[in-house]
Amino acid sequence: MKVFKFGGASVKDAQGVKNIARIIQLFENDGLIIVVSAMGKTTNALEEVVRSHYYEQGDWQAKLDEIRAYHLSIMSELFANPHHIVYEEVEHTFYQLRLICQTKPEADYNLVYDRIVSYGEIISTRIVSAYLSDVGVENTWLDARKLIKTDQNYRFARVNWNFTEILLRQAIRNPESRYVVQGFIGSDDNYHATTLGREGSDYTAAIVAYCLDAESVTIWKDVPGVLNGDPKVFENTVLLNKISFSEAIELAYYGASVIHPKTIQPLKHKGIPLMVKSFVDPQSPGTVIENGSPLDPMVPCYIRKTNQALLNVRTTDLAFIVEEHLSQIYAMFHRYGIRVNLAQNTATSSTFIINHDPVNVPLLLDSLRKSFEIDYSEGLVLYTIRHYSESDIKIFLQNKDPLLQQTTPTVYQLAVRDV
């Protein structure tokens, strides 16, 4: 059995859904688990619904109507029959969303976030599954909230691997069949919806493959494979034909958007190959990530992370920053789910480049202020070059005012103000 994952860009319109069907039909002799993300920018739109509902500001109903209209427009191109059962299924889903938004929000923003945002994948998979059935690809729709079991760390849920494996093996009994399941989402022990972190559908594919000992995982993207940089940002990018799991983990850690950071580890543990291929040109070889493969070719890899912030933490009495302070600071990062992308220490302070989270960062700052003096500045970009050369650094420094730099034997990082 193989696991295929299709992201939001591959299901952003009716043509994308039709293309998924064409790709799957190329693998008519394979059992497949098809992991699908929310359509297009639906997750972003649902995040706006969450904010409007939770803070009781703006018109959540209007935002929800826009999301509904977007999906109905796609469905109208896919299903000629206006009485197709999928319309009833999707309408029921939006009815559930409205009920949630009509009730007083829970105190925990992250719980509310997961409850609402998780519906994006429910809707997209209903549509994809129904269309596949209509064109002769028999499949079974599965609800990931009943299969991927997690803790209650909402928005950044951690997987209960043993329970999840039991549930997946119970649900997927025929390795020669096709199944459609949502990426990104799961549920806790109380069956409250949880999410695995933004772009978590890749991780879902890895979870499923690990638990079921799949033959391989293929992530279908709008690029020909893993490139040495985002072609929308960097010029003259090249395809990396083969990458080791270790190299892929490094690239993902530093923010390479083509691979979710958590995806690699479960696959590496069981030696399950990961392929990144083009959904535009499915016959092209793409990139293979597996045990033992060197970076091929050995070229510099460029990564740009936006929405970054600089956090400087200082002791209040000019005492040295020591292990006790750092342990306290990192415990707070963990508590609020804040990702650290670069860190530097001086005698009395530590400076961090972190992902700016408009919900959890203010909570973090309030906690830090109880024990430390802090400065916080958002609106930064973090550039990373893996396997850099001195000429790469000179080019990156042109017309830039560095706020923070760091160099190791294999990695150069530069934080600058976003412009």
Annotated binding residues for ATP, written as ranges, equal 5-8
Task: Give the residue carrying structure tokens 């976003």.
Answer: 418
What is the Cα–Cα distance from 67 to 178, expressed in whole angstroms? 28
Under the phi-then-psi rule, with left for phi > 0, alpha for psi from -120 to 50, and beta for the rest, what region is 29?
alpha
Exposure letters 15-25 (e unless 16+ CB within 10 A, then b): ebbebbbebbe
Question: CB–CB of 338/355 below 8 Å?
Answer: yes
Residue type, 144: A
C-alpha 46/C-alpha 66 separation (Å) is 10
The sign of the CA dihedral 60, 65, 71, 74 is negative
Backbone dihedral angles phi then psi of residue 398, each to the nearest 5 degrees: -65, 130
Per the annotation, binding residues for substrate are 43, 121
DSSP designation for 233: T
Whole-angstrom CA distances from 250 to 60, 264, 276, 369, 387 are 40, 10, 16, 33, 11
The Cα–Cα gap between 119 and 90 comes to 10
Closest CA to 145 of 86, 219, 195: 195
Binding site, annotated residues: 5-8, 43, 121
